[in-house]
Copies of this chain bind each other. A is one copy, B any other.
Amino acid sequence: MTEKSVTLNDIAKRLNYSTVTISKALRNHPDISPQTTKLIKSVAEEMGYTPNIMARNLSARRSNTIGVVVPKIAHFFFSAIIESIYDYAFNHNYEIILTVSQENAEREKRHIQTLLAMKVDGIIVSISQETKNYEIFETVRRRGVPLVFMDRIPAIENINTVQVNDREGAFKAIEHAIKLGYRNIAHFAGYSDINIGRERYYGFKDAMDQYNIPIKPEWVVAGEFGENHGYDGLMELHRQNNLPDLIFTVTYPVALGVYMAARELNLKIPDDIDVICFGNAKVQNFLSPPLSCVDQPTNLLASESMEILLENINSADGFEPRNIQIPTELILRGTCRKFNKE
């Protein structure tokens, strides 16, 4: 019934060759004559041979596998990125081991340990919203495993990073809003431990400062990156009877949370309260109203990360860490557009 999988040895015996010859032939090693190679391949095929990747990796001391750690996947931003990563990996003959931290630092750490134990050739990580201890990344470095941080980046030196220009992106959004006439602007921000929380806030602040608009502390509310933050945030401001005219949210899910709360409170977007967010999702076009945002090119984030990682993997030694910044673009839709206010 359960047929035992055929090994190099099985083929060797059948053909009266050594396993080495078989192994080489199957990998097109020039040692082996074309005819023999052909013969061996056809027999392998016929016998239904599949290499045992565990064994191969163990022996070859490289796995052709890349580990990925992301905080979430059921959000457009990450699922789009992951899809691109898979694509890139497929085209370059790499396997991906994807792990999900669920925004939990402990879990993130365990995942990275597992990836190390699996002897992945390199790791791409987007840190969780609560990651504050960076020891594990030191461990990775000491092990000599190439590492690229993408989008969510810890504050440590000498690392590969691929990110969007968060500060500039946020600045553009707020500047646009100000030019539209907005003054009462709130920011539902991320925590400042994490780059995207910090930088997007700075971008917001840059713009407000530049146009001499005072920032109301109660209107800068730091929190997580999910719907809850947006929902709770708006609910709270409403309870305080302290609503701004516009809310700039640190991520798209936070904006969705604002939409939820607004519906519940019977606030009309964008008339009663307007929204603009960082991060783009195809569906935002079809929200009611369509949501304006700062676009982050997910495919570029993914491909740049992979590219740098593979370079690092394939550069014997002394690879200089690279830091890539990808420009953002402001996409205007139903919210935060002048004509809505006319």
Name A residues whose Cβ lies closer than 8 Å to a Cβ of B. 1-3, 5, 48, 50-55, 57-58, 63, 72-76, 79-80, 82-83, 86-87, 90, 95-100, 102, 107, 113-114, 116-119, 139, 142-144, 256, 259-260, 263, 282-283, 285-290, 317
By the criterion CB–CB under 8 Å, are B82 and A73 in contact? yes
By the criterion CB–CB under 8 Å, are A95 and B83 in contact? no
By the criterion CB–CB under 8 Å, are B287 and A2 in contact? no
Report which residue of A75, A263, A285 has the largest number of chain B beta carbons within 10 angstroms of its beta carbon. Answer: A285
Q: Which residue of B lies closest to A61 (CB)?
A: B54
Q: Which residue of B lies closest to A2 (CB)?
A: B144
- CA–CA, A94 to B106, complex, Å? 17
**Cβ–Cβ < 8 Å partners of A118 in chain B:** 53-54, 95
* A/B interface sample: 22 pairs, CB < 8 A: A1-B144, A2-B142, A5-B116, A50-B113, A52-B117, A52-B119, A54-B54, A54-B58, A54-B118, A58-B58, A73-B73, A74-B82, A75-B79, A79-B79, A86-B99, A95-B97, A256-B286, A259-B286, A263-B286, A283-B287, A286-B287, A287-B288
- CA–CA, A256 to B86, complex, Å? 24
A119 to chain B, nearest CB (A): 6
**Cβ–Cβ < 8 Å partners of A256 in chain B:** 282-283, 286
Ranked nearest first, the 8 interchain pairs of A and B with the lowest CB-CB distance are A2-B144, A288-B288, A79-B79, A74-B79, A54-B58, A53-B117, A74-B83, A50-B117
A68 to chain B, nearest CB (A): 10
A51 to chain B, nearest CB (A): 6
- CA–CA, A53 to B63, complex, Å? 11
Report which residue of A5, A79, A80 has the largest number of chain B beta carbons within 10 angstroms of its beta carbon. Answer: A79
- CA–CA, A79 to B87, complex, Å? 16
- CA–CA, A260 to B290, complex, Å? 12
By the criterion CB–CB under 8 Å, are B97 and A97 in contact? yes
By the criterion CB–CB under 8 Å, are A54 and B287 in contact? no
Instruction: From the candidates B5, B100, B143, name the one contacting A3 in the complex (CB within 8 A).
Output: B143
Q: Which residue of B lies closest to A1 (CB)?
A: B144
**Cβ–Cβ < 8 Å partners of A5 in chain B:** 116, 143
By the criterion CB–CB under 8 Å, are A90 and B107 in contact? yes
**Cβ–Cβ < 8 Å partners of A260 in chain B:** 285-286
**Cβ–Cβ < 8 Å partners of A63 in chain B:** 54
Q: Which residue of B lies closest to A285 (CB)?
A: B260
A341 to chain B, nearest CB (A): 19
**Cβ–Cβ < 8 Å partners of A98 in chain B:** 96, 98
